[in-house]
A and B are shown apart, each in its own frame.
Chain A
Amino acid sequence: MTKYLLLSAALFVIGAYGVLGRRNLLIVLMSIELMLNGVNVALVAFSRAHQNLEGQVFVLTVIGVAAAEAGVGLALLIALFRNRRTVDSGDLTMLKG
């Protein structure tokens, strides 16, 4: 059981590094998908350990969420790219105090 949770934590944290450590927004969006994917492993493992299907149903909805987030995130990226010709989060500096 623990090995599955450790795999889940590793994938989640690698995804978190992608969000924090990269500036290319395409990679950042992929890293967010990786984080959700890491959680899925934990949910399926808990579902198996508790012998109820609630975790698997949760994963099914998380897959839907991941698809919806990818769609909206990429649409935002396209809108941003059309106006600013950049996919670099370091260029997002118009709003400052």
Chain B
Amino acid sequence: MPTADWSMIGPVLAVLAAALGMVALDLFPRRPWHRSAVEWTAYLGLIAAIALLHGAGEPRVGFGGALIADPLSRFMSLAILLATALAVPASLPAIAARGLLMAEYLALLLLSAAGMMLLVMSHDLITMFLSVEVLSLALYVLCGIARKDARSNESAMKYFVLGAFATGFLLYGMALVYGAAGTVFLSGMSDGIGGTEGSVLAVAGVSLIVAGFAFKLGAAPFHMWVPDVYEGAPTPVTAFMSVAVKAAGLGALARLLVGGMALQADAWGPLAVFLAALTMVVGNLGALTQASVKRMLAYSSIAHSGYALIGVASAASPEATYAVAGISAALFYAAAYLVMTLGAFVFLMFAGRPGQEAETYDHLAGLARRRPWAAALMTVLMVSLAGIPPTAGFIGKFVLFKAAVEAGQVGLAVIGVITSAVGVYYYLRVVVVMYMHEPEEVPGRKVEPEAPPFDPNLGWVVAIGAALTLLLGVYPTIFLNFSRAAASTLLP
């Protein structure tokens, strides 16, 4: 038994304990306080996890080399916990309105978050693969948790089949890398790959791994599932998975490629460039033609994966400083993307009524007059997604494009700027519809002037998203330093 460094996995244990506690609470006879007990167990676990995240900056490898705690894992764990803490209150109205199982829903949400935290901490291929599976399986179930709803069933089934297919490729890639390196541990993996035979296997393996992760990130050409799954899943689940999976997947991909296989950068660098370019183009062009705002946001999340991949592509540079700049920019972008996209998806529930979410552009027409605050918050989020200052989206794109140009990836920066200009159109269309259009009489949908009550918690989630978007845009320095520290300890 290797020495157990419990403080390393404290946050994961806190989240797991909360998940188990919620399921255990369900065993007791129902009392009036039952629902709030479950809710507060979740908050307690998340607060404890955030409190346990502190620690010295030096990277520590523990548990026989299976896990590592370093600034990267802390940065990403913090982002994942933040997304989870916002997803819990965002989920409660949907759970109540659709009659979902509260304890199981929240427990699966927290178990998925625990899988993501393990993923960014994992330091060998076995733990990495298993963490991907934990988070994916929990999300497959969450997508289908509205089991009486045929759209939810369909979303979950599509996600499951394609996700399991992609997992197969990820696993085959890991097997080939193990065959090439002779070890599953990331430390010493790059040096273990020797000779022509080893490098053939390593190139094949790393390509399959990148393809597998590209699927999880929703990068083109592995993005086909994203719009359907995001549309069909319950909206709070979409909000959670669209941001948290990408943060975790990006962290793990950076650790594997830059930390574990730095010497094979010739193999994965061009792949990352190809994926980033294609993803930006496909995501932005796809978002242009959508009538549903939820689908538009799904395509937008594809596009933003492409922007984050610019950072990974730049990190293939042999110069250490450029590699650090690329990864650091990608990490910051993931954090910025997280707050703005989560807020935008939750807004769709907030702008609708209980059981009737806003989906199309028409549903948002004239919203500024009925709900001036909601419209203002959404405007901040859309401006940020479009990449206009003074918001997180602008700073994120700025550091990314700067890193790309420095690392010699000028082409990617140019594609990024052009596709961002395309993005301005469909993001600001939401704003225009909210402020300038008159609400239309849609058949089968009553537009009542006295809006029925909506849960004020949703408003707080959107407000926190918008506030963080502005904070990251106006005072980015602290976060940029954090992401730079995370990136620089990653290099071997």
Question: What is A's interface to B at a CB cutoff of 8 Å?
Answer: 5, 8, 12, 15-16, 19, 25, 28-29, 32, 35-36, 38-39, 42-43, 45-46, 49-50, 52, 54-55, 57-58, 61-62, 65, 68-69, 72-73, 75-77, 79-80, 82-84, 89, 92, 94-97
Chain A residues closer than 8 Å to B149, beta-carbon distance: 83
Q: B186 → chain A, closest Cβ, in Å? A: 13
Indicate whether A54 sits within 8 Å of B164 (C-beta atoms), given known contacts A65-B133, A79-B153, A84-B153. Answer: no
Residue B347 interfacial (CB < 8 Å)? no
B153 touches A42 (CB 8 A): no
User: How far is B133's CA from A94's CA once the two chains are assembled, in angstroms?
Assistant: 27
A32 touches B157 (CB 8 A): no
Q: 22 interchain pairs (CB within 8 A)? A: A25-B161, A35-B168, A46-B175, A46-B178, A50-B183, A54-B183, A54-B184, A61-B126, A61-B130, A62-B129, A72-B140, A72-B160, A76-B144, A76-B157, A80-B153, A82-B147, A83-B149, A95-B151, A95-B155, A95-B229, A97-B289, A97-B290
User: How far is B228's CA from A36's CA once the two chains are assembled, in angstroms?
Assistant: 26
A95 touches B228 (CB 8 A): yes
Which residue in chain B gives the minimum CB-CB distance to A78?
Answer: B147
Partner of A42, one of B140, B158, B160, B172: B172
Chain A residues closer than 8 Å to B165, beta-carbon distance: 16, 19, 32, 35
Question: What is B's interface to A at a CB cutoff of 8 Å?
Answer: 125-126, 129-130, 133, 137, 140-141, 144, 147-151, 153-158, 160-161, 164-165, 167-168, 171-172, 174-176, 178-179, 182-184, 227-229, 231-232, 286, 289-290, 292, 295
Chain A residues closer than 8 Å to B184, beta-carbon distance: 54-55, 58
Indicate whether A39 sits within 8 Å of B183 (C-beta atoms), given known contacts A61-B129, A65-B130, A92-B154. Answer: no
Chain B residues closer than 8 Å to A45, beta-carbon distance: 179
Chain B residues closer than 8 Å to A29, beta-carbon distance: 161
Chain B residues closer than 8 Å to A83, beta-carbon distance: 147-150, 153
Q: A74 → chain B, closest Cβ, in Å? A: 10
Chain B residues closer than 8 Å to A25, beta-carbon distance: 157, 161
B153 touches A46 (CB 8 A): no
Which residue in chain A gives the minimum CB-CB distance to B130?
Answer: A61
User: How far is B147's CA from A79's CA once the two chains are assembled, in angstroms?
Assistant: 6
